[in-house]
Amino acid sequence: MTNRPVALKMWMLCVPFVLLVAAKPYLRLHWMYLGHIGSLFLLAAFLMLPTSAAWDGRRVTMALLITYLWHQFEEHGVDIYGNRYAFQTSANKLLGPILGCTPPGNSQCPLTVDAIFWANTLLVWWPNALALTFGVERRQLLVCVAGLTLANTFAHVMPAIVMRSYNPGLVSVLFLFVPLDIIILRNARRVWGASHVAMALGFVWGALGHPFLLLAAYTIHWKEVSPTWVYPAVLFAYACLPFLVPQRLVVHIFDPPKRME
């Protein structure tokens, strides 16, 4: 029998995402501004959370989403040089030659505008929404969104080191993600009851998500091996994997849950 509270929360969570999908033609170039506005409401909610130690896990989870929304604004909204929507050109300039995109310098390959919209909403917003909603019952969701943030840190810092240049999103990674990553790695067991194995698995999920979305975008949007609706479908499926993992498979890598006060 379906757990009614879980089913109800899932339905409530799906409603705004259905509206998001419906508004995609209007938001495909403006979703990051919507996220930035939403981060201000989340920040207000964050400041109103109880200060007891038992709520540390939820505060850290909300902080992850808030900082990610701010990061997305620099990455896809306005970067530190004032350029708008600069990530697509920057990323495709780096990744296009690796994948053999033609002609050289094609600003739409491998990441199209639609691919970027789906990647950031379905692989960032949706997992974080799941973690905030179900993280108490399914703590694997918490370590996965933390792993996604940590993986994205490497995805920005490594190219910056190799290319010796700025990439859109780098400043927010250095000043927001890096300190938060350090705090999480040092306190994961205390705030979430997560073992090193749990954190490692969360990082693997987050790290694999990056090449997965890239290759999916290249094969579906550029090579046209399948209809374009397959791209958001496979990203959604990948984002839901941590939620679908049976609890009996992960219970041994977490401490007993703390009781919220």
Local structure of 194: helix, strand or coil: strand
- pLDDT, averaged across the chain: 89
Mean pLDDT of 135-148: 91
Nearest-Å Rg of the Cα atoms of the chain is 18
pTM of the model: 0.91
Mean pLDDT of 149-155: 96
> What pLDDT, on the 0 to 100 scale, is given for residue 1?
41
Domain boundaries, the chain: 26-253
In tens, the pLDDT along 198-211 reads 999 999 999 999 99
The CA distance from 30 to 129, in Å, is 20
Query: ∠39-40-46 over CA atoms, to 5°?
Result: 85
Q: Are 169 and 91 in contact (CB under 8 A)?
A: no
Local structure of 50: helix, strand or coil: coil
Mean pLDDT of 218-235: 92
pLDDT(40) > 60: yes
